Structure 1
């Protein structure tokens, strides 16, 4: 099959054609267990019947109206987010990068209006990931995503993740925002320490800076709570969400408070497709399934079982030195002997019929459906163990 797409993607050696739940089939009819979840997007697995019905119903009513108008689905999803979080207002976009772009622009706009043009500096963390726009790769702090795109936006500094002293030494009166992922997903499934998050809140209050949480990957039940900030007892001023928000249908959102929201006055920011009725209708349906006690119980049950089984494999093979994460966002950290081999292991896993992710060169990332069943988990683990054995046999 010819590839007519630009060469910035290295596609896997299979083409999926249909899926259901945690199972996927390719063009040849081969079946796969999906532990990747579309990179933590397919929170309810593939083709959940409630989402399919919701999308079908909405498609018969209204597809697009533009932001000259609001719509019932947009208002309904925004209300769900407001009613169940710290937030008072919501801005809808189409992706995590756009949600973060809005978050960073709002932080600077708020500081400009309340404290002056000099208060524009953003503090983020080394090895963060916030998207692929020029602004978000600049905040992200990974040179591999910035190379060749200079000059980059200025006024951004980076500190080591989970380093309170570095944050204390960097934040100042010119800081408009501190940006944190509560689990650094792209860079190794590394959770934030409670003390670090609490210190960030205290320092932001001290310096009249806004605290921004990037929950694009950790939000919508992924860590066992609706949003990961609930684990920390700390509320942000701005939060970004996407990925699982639409459970596979593209949508992003920026959440904020009545204190901060007015800085996005009429015309200050926008999105042609943001708040699309199709996306918001699916988002409402997904929200109601995710934000349910039975779903959270399944997340925590499957998380513990998955971590236990991965630890057993790690001990028997000597491949991993640590299994870490929160909820159903789990990372296996390869031992030093197998540094930078995560990509090779994911390829072998795919050959065994398991869809898996990597997070950096030395961490295997698991982000399965939040509705993962015992049967699918056990079958996926069986295929993963075989992939590990195959890797070791020819390493």
Structure 2
């Protein structure tokens, strides 16, 4: 179906920071499958674990214990502040699970469930998650929307006073709004949000589908804030390209999911959880978080230098290797198309924001090559 606005490329091969099309053209990939191939394309460590698992077991029902699933759950709870994990197949499914768990909390207290999210957020395209998404363009054409959601402006401290009035069951947010323009949450705003939520006994749900698995410089973005969420959702980078999602929760709320309350046929299958476990192990065992910090500083400084030379670039922002360039013209798509001509793949985050998501394994030399290609694209876009 015509659900994607595709670029004129057919990708047939990927390795590391590069992909090749069906004509043999090699592209430097600064999209990482939209923050999914965090270790680059076809990482050997993950590939070897998957090849071994392919010889053992592909699928078994969740009616039985699954060893890779148990190992990944144990690893995730070890490196986070959460107690239990539910596995699914995508970020939208993880957010659906979080919404259900929040509603279970409200119903257990005989309260009307209400979830507050933020304008320009993005939480998925299922009916519940597109309703949670604070963007009218995502919701248009799919009414009636799911009941039980209110919206507030992002990073607006005064607007948080509405939480005292509404007293929601939960507040759901991204710590860097990815699709909404690569906008990091202000630490003072998060501090006030946490204070109000604690006072009102509102759960905090953090959507780390795009920001998780090292993307922002720590394993999870919430670890850069004075914040311990009650629920967190992850996906994208967890499986290095294999479809996997997860909802993590603290025990005071996770107990509300009992047998039969939620499920997924393919969720937590042996192949996906093997990919997830080996991805996490590689990041932790190779000090990749330190490397991410170094590459982020290098790339950001080079982008700031570029921004000073082009009057249509207003700001370089983001965290780690999730970086956005805010423009004062709606030419982000033009820059993307010109980049393709220069054998470089990048993304937009709205008509006036360029989004960069290089692999977390990107080298210094590849960043310099990116700058060379990117400047050619900017010059061409400027003349359009």
- Kindly state the Cα deviation for residue 172 of structure 1 after the two structures are TM-superposed: 4.1
Secondary structure at the counterpart of residue 61 of structure 2: coil
TM-score (norm. length: structure 2): 0.98
Q: Which of 196, 199, 205 is residue 203 of structure 1 equivalent to?
A: 196
Deviations 1:344-377 (A, max 9, x none): 1111111110010100111100111101001111
Q: Residues 46-65 of structure 1 correspond to what in structure 2 (within 5 A)?
A: 46-65=41-60
CA RMSD of aligned residues (A): 1.1
* Contact kept in structure 1, 2:72 and 2:276, CA below 8 Å: yes
Q: Residues 281-300 of structure 1 correspond to what in structure 2 (within 5 A)?
A: 281-292=274-285, 294-300=287-293
Partners of 1:323 and 1:157 in 2: how far apart? 30
- Report the counterpart of residue 326 of structure 1 in structure 2: 319
* Contact kept in structure 2, 1:128 and 1:140, CA below 8 Å: yes
Q: Which runs of 5+ in 1 are unaligned?
A: 1-5
* Contact kept in structure 2, 1:123 and 1:171, CA below 8 Å: no
Q: Residues 1-395 of structure 1 correspond to what in structure 2 (within 5 A)?
A: 6-113=1-108, 115-118=109-112, 120-172=113-165, 174-292=167-285, 294-334=287-327, 336=328, 338=329, 340-393=330-383, 395=384
TM-score (norm. length: structure 1): 0.95
Partners of 1:164 and 1:259 in 2: how far apart? 28
Partners of 2:281 and 2:164 in 1: how far apart? 39
* Contact kept in structure 2, 1:172 and 1:207, CA below 8 Å: no
- Kindly state the Cα deviation for residue 319 of structure 1 after the two structures are TM-superposed: 2.8
Partners of 2:338 and 2:197 in 1: how far apart? 45
Partners of 1:303 and 1:318 in 2: how far apart? 23
Runs of 4 or more above 3 Å deviation = 170-174
- Kindly state the Cα deviation for residue 72 of structure 1 after the two structures are TM-superposed: 0.5
Secondary structure at the counterpart of residue 18 of structure 1: strand
Q: Which runs of 5+ in 2 are unaligned?
A: none
Q: Number of paired residues?
A: 384
Partners of 1:173 and 1:301 in 2: how far apart? 43
Partners of 2:275 and 2:18 in 1: how far apart? 21
1:103/1:24 Cα in 2 relative to 1: closer, same or farther (>3 Å)?
same
